């Protein structure tokens, strides 16, 4: 328990754990997840959260808005990593809270909790850069495989990351999914993580199923939603997966709600974020919050966000994020560079140390296929 308390303190400071400690933490959480059902029961009061996407400081704002653990019971509906600058720190914090208060923190799997997706959208590269190898990513992927795929609140509110599936008519069919694996390219398991609602894509006139433009899963409409709710005696389906600029959006006669918890998504969308708090199955409140200003992101041993022509003095292995930012660093220092606030691909860049800035000497692209 002492280790966990120490890890929570480290994680709350937006720092990542030593590699051996991260492995211990992941192993600990894996043991807890093995005991959870594919449809994990949760009782009210509870607060439901949507995508986080590595926006650590906005996650801290979420806790200030919704309440701190363990005083508030939370369900996070997946997509903890990728795209944001602090995926590793974000996931580490959620894992420490899960390890400390397993009955108060429910973590669902999103489509980004996947080996294939994280190799494309940033988490793999972030782990490589911050640890110097892919071991941390592998430890986290083991956790991904064991994350539960849904939760049910008071037996009548279903929470999933994406949505429904043409292969699933009842909640009991979700219970039969073999979840301890990489997300498959098709089938029920894929669908409930990747599915999108038609109304959020301005296709409300389609009532049943349509092919998803994302290339995975289906789009579902009002008829499908109402039938599933009726057959399974549900009052509501909560899901995430799609950006809604107002933070949350009810659809299909308020039988389905999309919750989005990453404000100013990708540091450029300008959207509000929300969490949905349930006092009981019939009493709910959306709590809105905005992104934390960039000026509040800088801390000890954290990546530095700066403007053009701002000199930054950092030590070896310190990640630096900026746009055409001159830096005073040593040779062979690995740097992360985000162009126009978009998380770029990672490179190891050799810099020639100058008093007034840094000159690119050589760019070495990523090597090989990632496991």
CA 75, 77, 81, 83 dihedral sign is negative
- Cβ–Cβ < 8 Å for 151, 108: yes
- For residue 241, indicate whether it is catalytic: no
- Cβ–Cβ < 8 Å for 365, 355: no
Please identify which of the residues 53, 112, 241, 297 carries the catalytic annotation.
Answer: 112
| The CA-based dihedral angle spanning residues 41, 263, 58, 83, taken in that order and rounded to the nearest 10 degrees | 90
Beta bridge partners of 103: none
Q: If you compute the radius of gyration of the chain from its CA atoms, what whole number of angstroms results?
A: 21
- Main-chain phi, psi angles of 209, to 5 degrees: -120, 145
CA distances from 120 to 87, 217, 340 (A): 13, 19, 18
- Find the length of the chain: 371
Cα 69 from Cα 92, distance rounded (Å): 15
Beta bridge partners of 48: 75, 276
- Main-chain phi, psi angles of 230, to 5 degrees: -65, -50
Tell me which residues are annotated as active site: 112
């Amino acid at each position: 328990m002492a280790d966990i308390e120490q890890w929570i303190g480290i994680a709350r400071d937006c720092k990542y754990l030593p590699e051996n400690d991260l492995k211990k933490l992941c192993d600990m959480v894996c043991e807890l997840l093995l005991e959870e059902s594919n449809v994990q029961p949760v009782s009210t009061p509870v607060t439901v959260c949507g995508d986080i996407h590595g926006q650590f400081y906005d996650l801290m704002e979420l806790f200030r808005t919704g309440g701190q653990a363990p005083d508030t019971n939370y369900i996070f509906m997946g997509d903890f990593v990728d795209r944001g600058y602090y995926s590793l720190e974000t996931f580490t914090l959620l894992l420490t809270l899960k390890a400390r208060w397993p009955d108060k923190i429910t973590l669902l799997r999103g489509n980004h909790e996947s080996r294939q997706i994280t190799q494309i959208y940033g988490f793999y590269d972030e782990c490589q850069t911050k640890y110097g190898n892919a071991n941390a990513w592998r430890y986290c992927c083991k956790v991904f495989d064991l994350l539960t795929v849904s939760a049910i609140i008071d037996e009548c509110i279903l929470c999933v990351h994406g949505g429904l599936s043409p292969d699933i008519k009842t909640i009991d069919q979700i219970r039969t999914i073999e979840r301890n694996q990489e997300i498959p390219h098709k089938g029920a398991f894929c669908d409930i993580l990747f599915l999108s609602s038609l109304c959020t894509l301005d296709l409300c006139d389609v009532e049943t199923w349509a092919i998803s433009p994302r290339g995975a899963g289906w789009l579902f409409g009002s008829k499908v939603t109402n039938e599933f709710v009726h057959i399974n005696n549900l009052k509501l389906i909560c899901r995430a997966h799609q950006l809604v600029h107002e933070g949350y959006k009810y659809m299909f006669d308020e039988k389905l709600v999309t919750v989005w918890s990453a404000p100013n998504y990708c540091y450029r969308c300008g959207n509000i974020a929300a969490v949905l708090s349930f006092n009981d199955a019939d009493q709910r409140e959306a709590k809105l919050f905005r992104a934390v200003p960039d000026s509040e992101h800088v801390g000890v041993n954290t990546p530095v966000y700066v403007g053009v022509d701002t000199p930054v003095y950092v030590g070896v292995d310190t990640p630096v994020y900026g746009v055409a930012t001159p830096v005073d660093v040593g040779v062979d220092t690995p740097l992360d560079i985000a162009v126009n606030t978009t998380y770029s691909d990672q490179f190891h860049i050799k810099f020639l140390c100058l008093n007034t800035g840094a000159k690119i000497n050589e760019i070495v692209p990523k090597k090989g296929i990632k496991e």
